[in-house]
């Protein structure tokens, strides 16, 4: 008896749905094209994009947008999913993607050259930060429209500096004294054992550290590479076919980090610091990281004053810059409509809405340099250092073997941080393996 | 065949049809395709091309392949005996008529219900060099601190330790079921003959439990060969590839290094290794596995 009623209800529901579907469509005046956009984003970004898309659909009644949000824990993992979608032959029209997938996508002729669209729209590449354009260009042609950019700078616990009676990194920087040597001195003074002794005092016990001067910037790649760059080193040669990490300048940078960790005991490994969110808990003086940490870590800081400063200088002032962009797959079914959407999402007002969430620096220069974005007076006070760093920061070397290269190098570097290998020996072996990869 | 028997057979086939279709579409089909892919070079984005047995030849010369295989074997050699012994001991302890034993069984089973990722993250806390509970306990005992996850010596044993967290799970339940299938009168007879508890365990319980031990052993080896989640989440293969296990390296090749053909070849090598191992086990089984009816299957 009961099952009979259930089926009656199901039938009624089905009939109702069909009626609504059939009855709701008067003869359409225009042909409507549905395009798909594959992207990734966290909850706030998703909400924002849903709003932007419905705004877009209102102003473009001939285009509907299917927003496909990929849930991925990392950028490489996100790109795997895009790849798998593409491998099925079911090409999306718009992809948002991070720099790391670009070399491979480019080598496989996966993306459409968008220069003609830019020319037609009268859009100048110079409106964007040069590194952002460079990251997605090949032989002078642009393959993705930059959305955001980021650089690595130094977060610091301002209260901890004050209590130790130290000048802040920004003060040292203004005085032209913010070098890796100063950084080391400061880090040692901020590192404390359970008796309150700092790492530069006699009797300091390195086995009972309760407060660290810095997170050792050894994470791959955004911790290590800026250090290598500022010591005057390179990761690969200009043609991206040879590893250069075994050259003296890069080795000096890596040796500096090994010394910081193992001999001076003034740094903690990033993995240990992240597990317990040590910086936000006030146990760490300095931490090199990207713009996104203003929201990710900054919002977790409740008990102390903090700020950001440029990375210390080695032989040169440097850092690492990375970018994300919208692209159209070469085999996208509706490239024109895809461009219309990208154009809309990249408008200054829509870019600013995204920037307000706090995770990105707009790749559009006018937006990033606007007082609205730089928010003077808001914590962190020196947030402009991230934007300034875009002028001297470097892009990761471009290679299709990126993931393999980072893993190979990371494995050798692990042995440096534990003291099992010297920087020279480890980089020598890493470079031999990386060279073999790149010749492949 | 009588019409009735035919009808019954037909119903039977119809009933397993959904499973059969699912098996063909999602297991057998992909396996066949991966066998074909293992003979190709395929970057996922452009069309695959045939390279014969080159992937298998390259595996032979790939130091990371051997490293991954060695790590996986080490993990298996450590995990399987420890977890079998742990589960069996727990099952023996919980196989008694004491009050609230079912509550205890449920408590020991709980870790099995925890999502592996959540467990892995809890363990990174427990194993943290500076703030972890484990190192705190060591320091209370006056022992030196261990950099569990940052040391090439300790990272793999740390993963083994994490695996032991579920000794009270499914394996223990299977042991418990096996223990309860042992006829009471055999124990009574042995006790009447003056056999101590230890002798009864050795001469009655373990021989009668041997088919269950064998079952758990074979499944345990297969499962530990496929270990992936803790190595991916907790150590990501590091430090210095000391926890780069087989499936993690396979995954990296397939989805991060654009070498799907190579990854497919790795998958088939693993299948062959496991098949060989299981075959050997079934051969050796006759020496130590005792079936009560006297007949050994297979």
Of B43, B240, B258, the CB nearest to A414: B240
At residue A272, the pLDDT reads 86
Q: Are A101 and A75 in contact (CB under 8 A)?
A: yes
pLDDT tens readout for residues B214-238: 999 999 999 999 999 999 989 989 8
**How many Å apart are CA A315 and CA A338, to the nearest integer?**
45
pLDDT tens-digit map of B63-94: 999 999 999 999 999 999 999 999 999 999 99
Give the 3-state secondary structure of residue B185.
Answer: helix
Average pLDDT of B29-34?
94
Q: Cα distance from A328 to chain B (closest Cα, Å)?
A: 15
- For A410, the closest of B124, B152, B238 (CB atoms) is B238
Q: Is residue B245 a contact partner of residue B160, using CB atoms and an 8 Å limit?
A: no
Is the per-residue pLDDT at B53 higher than 80?
yes
Distance of alpha carbon B105 from alpha carbon B94, whole angstroms:
7
pLDDT of A79 reads 79
pLDDT of residue A18: 44
| pLDDT exceeds 80 at position B190 | yes
Q: What share of chain A is helix, strand, coil (3-state, %, to 5)?
A: 45, 20, 35
Q: Do B237 and A83 touch (CB under 8 A)?
A: no
CB B159 within 8 A of CB B235: yes
Taken in order of first residue, the domains within chain A and their CATH numbers are 32-150+322-374 (3.40.190.10), 151-319+398-439 (3.40.190.10)
Q: Using an 8 Å CB-CB cutoff, list chain A residues near B240.
A: 411-412, 414-415, 418, 420
| Residue A35, phi then psi, degrees to nearest 5 | -115, 155
What pLDDT does A2 receive?
A: 45
CB contact under 8 A, B152 and A104: no
Q: Residue A235: what pLDDT?
A: 96
Neighbours of B28 (CB within 10 A): 12
- B258 in contact with A, Cβ within 8 Å: yes
**pLDDT grade for B200, boundaries at 50, 70 and 90:** confident
**pLDDT value of residue B293:** 62
- Beta strands in A242-366, from DSSP E residues, in sequence order: 267-268, 284-290, 306-309, 320-327, 361-362
Kindly indicate the confidence band of residue B297, based on its pLDDT and cuts at 50, 70 and 90. Answer: very low
* Residue B276 or B297, more confident: B276
When CB atoms are compared, the residue of B130, B241, B255 closest to A411 is B241
What gap in Å lies between CA B120 and CA A405, rounded to an integer?
Answer: 27
Q: Please give the mean pLDDT across all residues of chain B.
A: 90
pLDDT of residue B143: 86
Instruction: State which residues of chain A have pLDDT below 70.
Output: 1-30
In DSSP notation, B70-125 reads HHHHHHHHHHHHHHHHHHHHHHHHHSS--TTHHHHHHHHHHHHHS-HHHHHHHHHH
The pLDDT of residue B257: 87
Give the nearest chain B residue to A106 (CA atoms): B45
Residues 194-253 on B with a CB inside 8 Å of A are 237-241, 252
Q: What is the pLDDT of residue A16?
A: 46
Question: For B86, phi and psi rounded to 5 degrees?
Answer: -60, -50
Is pLDDT above 90 for B131? no
Chain B residues with CB under 8 Å of A400 CB are: 258
Q: Which residue of A has its CA nearest to B236?
A: A407
The secondary element (H helix, E strand) that includes residue A132 is helix A130-135
């Amino acid at each position: 008896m009961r099952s009979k009623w259930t089926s009656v209800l199901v039938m009624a529901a089905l009939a109702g749905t069909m009626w609504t579907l059939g009855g709701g469509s008067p003869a359409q005046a225009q042909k409507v094209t549905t395009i798909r956009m594959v992207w990734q984003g966290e909850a706030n970004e998703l909400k924002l994009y849903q709003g932007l898309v419905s705004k877009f659909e209102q102003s473009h009644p001939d285009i509907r947008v299917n927003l496909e949000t990929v849930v991925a824990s990392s950028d490489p993992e996100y790109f795997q999913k895009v790849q798998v979608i593409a491998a099925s032959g079911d090409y999306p029209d718009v992809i948002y993607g991070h720099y790391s997938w670009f070399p491979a996508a480019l080598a496989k002729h996966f993306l459409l050259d968008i220069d003609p669209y830019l020319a037609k729209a009268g859009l100048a590449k110079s409106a964007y930060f040069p590194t952002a354009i460079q990251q997605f260009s090949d032989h002078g042609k642009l393959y993705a429209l930059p959305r955001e950019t980021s650089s690595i700078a130094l977060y610091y616990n301002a209260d901890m500096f004050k209590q130790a009676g130290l000048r802040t990194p920004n003060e040292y920087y203004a005085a032209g004294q913010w070098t890796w040597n100063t950084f080391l001195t400061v880090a040692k003074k901020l590192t404390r054992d359970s008796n309150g002794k700092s790492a530069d005092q006699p009797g300091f016990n390195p086995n009972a550290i309760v407060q660290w001067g810095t997170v050792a910037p050894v994470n791959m790649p955004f911790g290590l590479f800026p250090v290598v760059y500022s010591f005057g080193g390179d990761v690969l040669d200009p043609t991206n076919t040879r590893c250069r990490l075994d050259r003296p300048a890069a080795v000096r940078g890596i040796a500096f980090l090994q010394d910081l960790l193992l001999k001076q005991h003034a740094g903690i490994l990033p993995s240990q610091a992240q597990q317990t969110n040590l910086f936000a808990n006030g146990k760490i003086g300095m931490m090199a990281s990207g713009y996104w940490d203003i929201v990710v870590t900054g919002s977790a800081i409740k008990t102390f004053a903090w700020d950001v400063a440029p990375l210390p200088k080695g032989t040169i002032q440097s850092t690492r810059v990375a970018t994300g962009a919208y692209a159209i797959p070469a085999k996208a079914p509706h490239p024109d409509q895809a461009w219309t959407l990208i154009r809309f999402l990249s408008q200054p007002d829509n870019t600013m809405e995204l920037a307000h969430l706090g995770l990105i620096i707009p790749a559009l220069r006018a937006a990033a340099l606007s007082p609205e974005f730089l928010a003077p007076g808001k914590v962190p006070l020196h947030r402009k250092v991230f934007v300034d760093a875009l002028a001297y920061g470097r892009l990761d070397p471009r290679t299709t073997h990126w993931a393999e290269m980072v893993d190979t190098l990371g494995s050798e570097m692990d042995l440096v941080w534990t003291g099992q290998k010297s920087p020279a020996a480890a980089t020598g072996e890493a470079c031999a393996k990386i060279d073999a990869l790149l010749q492949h | 065949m009588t019409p009735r028997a035919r009808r019954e057979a037909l119903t039977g086939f119809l009933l397993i049809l959904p499973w059969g279709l699912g098996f063909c579409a999602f297991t057998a089909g992909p396996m066949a395709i991966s066998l074909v892919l293992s003979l190709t070079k395929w970057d996922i984005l452009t069309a695959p091309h045939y390279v014969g047995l080159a992937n298998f030849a390259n595996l032979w010369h790939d130091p990371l392949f051997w490293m991954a295989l060695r790590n996986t074997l080490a993990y298996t050699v450590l995990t399987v005996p420890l977890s079998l012994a742990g589960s069996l001991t727990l099952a023996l302890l919980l196989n008694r008529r004491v009050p609230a034993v079912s509550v205890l069984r449920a408590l020991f089973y709980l870790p099995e219900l925890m999502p592996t990722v959540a467990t892995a993250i809890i363990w990174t806390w427990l194993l943290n060099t500076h703030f972890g509970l484990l190192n705190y306990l060591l320091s209370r005992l006056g022992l030196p601190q261990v950099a569990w996850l940052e040391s090439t010596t300790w990272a793999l044993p740390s993963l083994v330790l994490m695996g032991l967290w579920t000794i009270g799970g499914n394996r223990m339940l299977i042991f418990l079921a096996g223990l309860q299938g042992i006829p009471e009168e055999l124990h009574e007879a042995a006790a009447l003959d003056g056999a101590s508890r230890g002798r009864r365990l050795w001469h009655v319980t373990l021989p009668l439990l041997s088919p269950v031990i064998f079952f758990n052993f074979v499944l345990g080896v297969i499962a530990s060969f496929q270990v992936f989640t803790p190595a991916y989440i907790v150590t990501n293969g590091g430090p210095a590839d000391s926890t780069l296990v087989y499936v993690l390296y396979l995954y990296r090749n397939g989805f991060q290094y654009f070498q799907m053909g190579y990854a497919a070849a790795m998958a088939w090598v693993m299948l062959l290794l496991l098949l060989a191992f299981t075959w050997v086990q079934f051969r050796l089984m006759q020496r130590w596995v005792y079936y009560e009816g006297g007949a050994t299957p297979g």
